Chain A
Amino acid sequence: MNLATETRNDVVIIYVKEERLDAHNSTELKSAVQKLFEDGKKNVLVDLKDVRFIDSSGLGALVSGFKNAISHQGNLKLSSLQSQVKSMFELTRLHRVFEIFPSTVEAVENFQS
């Protein structure tokens, strides 16, 4: 799976550079997020700008990351969801769980506030 990371103001941004986040590749994202929290990072932002399609396994990987954040007293937020991807969060009520931002800039600002 193609993941790019960048650190901005103590926030680790993971860019998912894939068109699909599904049962084929979501385990890798799950592991990458888990490792960040285990390594002591507190603020993780997952940017989904390139993701056109997410399935239940992709959603599950993000839920797993969110729970990992809680257990490590950290935060996991999301940014740049395409409209159809966002509607999957709404369908599964996960939009109430995650903090979702239109862009990485807005998300990073929110981590600081």
Chain B
Amino acid sequence: MGNTIEVDIKVPNKTRYLSLIGKIGEDIARELERYSGDKEVLAYHLNLVLTEAMVNAIKHAGPKEPEKLVRIVITLHRDDLTIRVYDDGQGFDINAIPAPNFEELEDRGRGIFLIRTLMDSVAYRKNCKENMLEMKKKLA
């Protein structure tokens, strides 16, 4: 299991923690020994998908309880990166979110598009207790 890294972190569901979570993604990208691509580009992309996913979790969080936490689990096993972001809000149907209409200038609606573009697969699962956004990427 020498090739596995797992980071399991909980932070309050506040946007002020976006930078902290994003930086963990950047640091993981820079530590990859075998990655053949541009590590700085990957660092930005992981920062971005973590930021977008956490904003999403904050937006869909449940009733206004200040003590709510967002849990993020980042697993790197060999070349397989999995990021899971958990929230306990009402959830949403990721497949119902349309791709942005590039002809219309909307203020919003680019977050999930960016995640889908930068990761290999994206899924959203909900059960009675919590919701999970799962994003995977092969880092070869």
Contact B111 A92 (CB under 8 A): no
Chain B interface residue count, CB cutoff 8 Å, equals 26
Contact residues in A for B18 (Cβ distance below 8 Å):
20, 22-24, 55
Whether, in the assembled complex, B92 has its beta carbon less than 8 Å from a beta carbon of chain A, the answer is no
Segment of B41-49, B62-70, B120-128 in the binding face: B41-49
Contact residues, A59-102 vs B (CB, 8 A)? 59-61, 63-64, 66-67, 84, 87-88, 91-93, 97
Cβ of A111 within 8 Å of any chain B Cβ, yes or no, is no
Q: State the majority secondary structure of interface residues on A.
A: helix
**Bitwise interface map of A from 26 to 62 toward B, beta carbon under 8 Å scored 1, else 0:** 0000000000000000000000000001011101110
Q: Which of A23, A60, A87, A93 has the most CB of B within 10 A?
A: A23
Give B51 Cβ to nearest chain A Cβ, in Å: 5
- Residues in B whose Cβ lies below 8 Å from that of A97: 105
Tell me the count of chain A residues lying within 8 A, CB to CB, of chain B.
Answer: 22
A54 closest partner in B (C-beta) = B48
In the complex, the answer to whether B55 meets A57 with C-beta atoms within 8 Å is yes
Tally of A-B Cβ pairs under 8 angstroms = 67
| CB-nearest residue of chain A to B17 | A24
Q: Does B15 contact A (CB under 8 A)?
A: yes
Q: Which A residues lie within 8 Å of B117 (CB)? A: 91
> DSSP class of B's interface residues: helix, strand, loop or mixed?
helix
Query: Complex formed: what's the CA distance from A104 to B82 in Å?
Result: 41
Min C-beta distance of B47 to chain A, whole Å: 6
Asked whether B35 is an interface residue with its Cβ less than 8 Å from the other chain, the reply is no
Q: What is the bound-complex CA distance between A84 and B47, given in angstroms?
A: 12
Min C-beta distance of A70 to chain B, whole Å: 9
Contact A23 B51 (CB under 8 A): yes
Contact B22 A92, beta carbon cutoff 8 Å: no
Which chain B residue has the least Cβ–Cβ distance from A55? B51
Q: Of the candidates B47, B55, B113, which one forms a contact with A23 in the assembled complex, judged by CB atoms under 8 Å apart?
A: B55
Are A59 and B110 interface neighbours, CB within 8 A?
Answer: yes
> Could you name 23 residue pairs across A and B whose Cβ atoms are closer than 8 Å?
A20-B19, A20-B22, A22-B15, A22-B55, A23-B51, A24-B15, A55-B111, A55-B114, A56-B52, A56-B55, A56-B111, A57-B111, A60-B106, A60-B110, A63-B105, A63-B106, A67-B105, A84-B44, A88-B114, A91-B114, A91-B117, A92-B114, A93-B102
